[in-house]
A and B are shown apart, each in its own frame.
Chain A
Amino acid sequence: MVVGRTAAGTGIPAQLAVTSDEGVVGFLVGVERAVAIAYDQAGSVLGSPAAVTTAAAFRAHHMAHAEALDALVAGAAPPRGPNREFLATLMASLQGITDQQAELAVLYSLEEQMAATYEWAVGRLAGPDALQQVAAILEVEGQHAVAIGILLSKTLDELVPPYQTDAGYLVPGDVGVTDLG
């Protein structure tokens, strides 16, 4: 990753840095698609109207995020599918859960991890288009965590820390992505 390299004397990120944006954005696309599939799986266990409605909306959000991010790198690569390793991990987490609260707890942790992952990504991107899109999605992932946390009766301190950090972000190498460009 080349952060801070600029085109001579302009303060503008050089094209070299933009190249690495493709890797980071592509990683996020695969993760978003995996999360959307996980929501499909989770939907069968959720029973309360609030939980069902919320999960359906958030699944759609994750699909929309994947499409918006994929559009940023359109032409550089064919549309990306879900990150298989991450999806397998998510499915293993959800397998065997028959209780709504336990299911929501998994989704809550997942959304917190997504928010942290976007915070991590913002610190690594250089192109303004990618930065704006990722910043927008970061906000919404954090909002997902709060909304699910409210369903779980989390305390205010748990729902809203003073700062969004990248603690606990999804490490690309842990899900088979070893080259971010």
Chain B
Amino acid sequence: MRRSPPIGRRQVLQLALVSVLGACTASGHGRAGAGSRPTSALPPPPVVNPGAAVDVLILQTASSLEHYASGIYTEVAGLDIAGRTGLVPLLSAFAGHHADHAATFESATVDAGGRSFTQPNVLLSKDAMSRLAGLQTEEDVLEFVYQVEVLSAATHRRSVGLFADPARNALVMGIGGVEARHMTVLGTQIAAVSGGQASGWAPWPASGFPDALPGLQPGVGL
């Protein structure tokens, strides 16, 4: 069995989180002006159990992603093009899955000692909403939500092994595995609509392994 590198991804994330918390504390959470001196001599509060804090951050980010995905599907299902092409049942079903997933991550966040995150990811939503008006064809719609699933699957997969509590690995892949299934349904439909010409939206990866995409980094867009 190959050994882990001396500093793995989980430790890097923990160190980054500790640095952020420390920086926030040292700067008075950003309230101090440039060049101002600290107004308190109190030492920064100790970071208690950074592993649990990492778990919370990952789960909150996952919640934000699932709320985003559910919202996108709901918005797209309401477009005329979705009604005209008979996509509404499919889009509604997947919206429901993502809503369920968001609720699961919210609950897991509370179990991890954090506050549940109940809003769509800000960063992703800003970009997506500007693209909705451009969806004119069935293929446009399917490709758009396929991209949502690619990001979601990659994000959940990349979380595996980062958790301090290993039980959360199965939790996150119980959801990531479903996002991959969504991709297969959508990719198959895209191929049918495009006459099999849309090679960028594969139902399954030709290599037998998903592309090594980074996914959404923990904490981004919260």
A residues contacting B by CB (< 8 A) are: 3-4, 11-13, 18-19, 21-22, 25, 57, 60-62, 64-65, 68, 72-76, 115, 118-119, 122-123, 125-132, 135-140, 142-147, 150, 156-157, 159-166
User: Which B residues are CB-close (under 8 A) to A146?
Assistant: 181, 184-185, 188, 203
CB atoms of A123 and B182 under 8 A apart: no
Chain B residues with a Cβ closer than 8 Å to the other chain, count: 52
Give the Cβ gap from B113 to chain A, nearest Cβ, in Å: 14
Inter-subunit contact B170/A143 (CB<8 Å): no
Report whether A119 and B90 are in contact in the complex, using a CB–CB cutoff of 8 Å.
no
Q: A19-B1, A162-B97, A165-B174 are in contact. Are A135 and B181 (CB under 8 A)?
A: no
Residues of A within 8 A of B206 (CB): 57
A13 touches B166 (CB 8 A): yes
Pairs across A and B, CB under 8 Å, 11 listed: A11-B14, A12-B8, A12-B11, A22-B1, A126-B166, A142-B180, A142-B184, A144-B204, A147-B204, A162-B178, A164-B178
B9 touches A128 (CB 8 A): yes
In angstroms, Cα B181 to Cα A115, docked, is: 11
Known contacts A119-B174, A128-B9; A4 and B209 CB within 8 A of each other: no
Q: Are A135 and B180 in contact (CB under 8 A)?
A: no
Q: Which residues of chain B in 112-157 are interfacial with respect to chain A, using CB atoms and an 8 Å cutoff?
A: 153, 157
Would A137 and B209 count as touching, CB distance under 8 A? yes
Query: Using an 8 Å CB-CB cutoff, how does the interface string of B168-191 with A read, 1 for contact, 0 for none?
Result: 011001111110111111001000
